[in-house]
Amino acid sequence: MKEIDLLLLSGDGVGPEVMESAISLLEKIQSSFKINFNLIEGLIGGASIDAHGLPVSDETLNQASQADSILFGAVGGPKWDSLPPNEKPEKGLLELRSSLGLFANLRPAILFDSSLEASSLKPGIIKDLDMLIVRELTGGIYFGEPREKKSSSAFNTMIYERHEVERIARVAFDSASLRNKKVCSVDKSNVLEVSEFWREVVIDVSKDYPDIELSHMLVDNAAMQLVKNPKQFDVILSSNLFGDILSDISAMLTGSIGMLPSASLDNRNKGLYEPVHGSAPDIAGQGTVNPIAMILSVGMMFRYSLNQLEISEKIKSAVSKTLDDGYATKDIADKNSKICSTKELTKIIIDHV
C-alpha cells in the first residue's frame, strides 16, 4: 500500500491526550501490517486562535484537502468562551467540514457486554444495542443565512436544498442495507416547513430502496424513545441540529460519551474521524480521559476511508477484549473494574491488536 497522508488535528482540552493514543495505535499498525503513514500535524480551534488569530487557518484547510484522511481530537474551552460565535474554536470545525464537503456524519452507538452496568438504563432495555445515527452535517440551521444577533432580538435560518436531503438520505439507506434494513427518519414536520420538505424528499428517495423499511418520527418522540426502547432503531436519519442532540443522547446509552466514535464523510468516503466527547476541559491534562472513542474512530477510518476491514475489526475486537478483562478508565468503571489511566488503557488495547 502507498504511503498514507494522515492529518492530525489534536485541538484543545483532552484532544492532545487522545491523539497520543491514536498515534500509538497507528505506530503499532504500521509495524504489524506494513502500512506506511505520513503523520502531519496541524492546528485547529483554540490552538489555532492562539497561534494565528483564527479558529482554522488557510494552511490547515489546505493540509486537510491534500490529506488522505483526518484524525481530529476536540476544540473549545473556557479560555475562548467570551469570543463571538463566529470566532470561537467550534467555528474552525464547522468551517473544516464545510470546506471539505463532509456532509455525512456517522455515529454508531454500540454497547459492549462488559459495559452493560455502566449504562444508566436497565440491562434488559440496553443489552445488545447496536444502532447508527446518520446526521446531515453541512446544512441546516448551523449554516443557514441570514443570521443575526442584536440587543433586542436574534434569529437563525434553517434551510435545506433538495440535493442536500437526497444525498444524506442515500447514505442512510445504503448503511441500512448492510445492517438490519430499517431507517427511521427524524424531523419536526408537524410545525416546521423545512421538516415537512425533509420528509417528502426522504420518501422520494426511499422508492429506490424497496427492501429498506422506512419510518418517520418527530424529534421529541425520538428523544423519548431513545431512552425508552433504543433497540427499536437500526439507522436513524436526521438533520444537522436534531442529529447533534440525538447522537449525544445515544452516547449516554452506552454508559459514557467517552466510548463513541464518529466519521464525517464526503461523497468519495474521504473522512474526518473524531471522538464524540468534546474537549472536556474539566479533566484535561489529568491523564484520565477515556481513549476508546478515539481508538474506535481510528477503526472507522480503516473501514470507511482506507478500506482495510480486517484492521478495523481487529481494533474493535481489541477494545472488546480489554473491556471483557475488566480494564476501564474512571468514566466507565464499576466496583470490579481495574481502573487505568489513558496511557495504560491505550497500551492494553494496543497489545491486543
Q: How far is CA 35 from CA 106, 193, 342, 347, in A?
A: 25, 49, 25, 20
**91 has catalytic annotation:** no
Cβ atoms of 244 and 135 closer than 8 Å: yes
- Which residue in 81, 220, 324, 351 is the catalytic one? 220
3-class secondary structure, 49: helix
**182 has catalytic annotation:** no
- Which residue in 12, 187, 244, 331 is the catalytic one? 244
Q: Cell 439507522, residue? A: 235
Look at strands 148-149 and 154-155 and give their pairing. Answer: antiparallel
**142 has catalytic annotation:** yes
**244 has catalytic annotation:** yes
- Which residue in 91, 142, 209, 304 is the catalytic one? 142
- Which residue in 88, 188, 270, 314 is the catalytic one? 188
Q: How far is CA 317 from CA 155, 168, 323, 351, in A?
A: 47, 29, 10, 12
Q: Where are the alpha helices (H) located in 148-264, listed in sequence order?
A: 162-177, 193-206, 219-228, 240-253
What's the one-letter identity of residue 21? S
Catalytic site residues?
A: 142, 188, 220, 244, 248
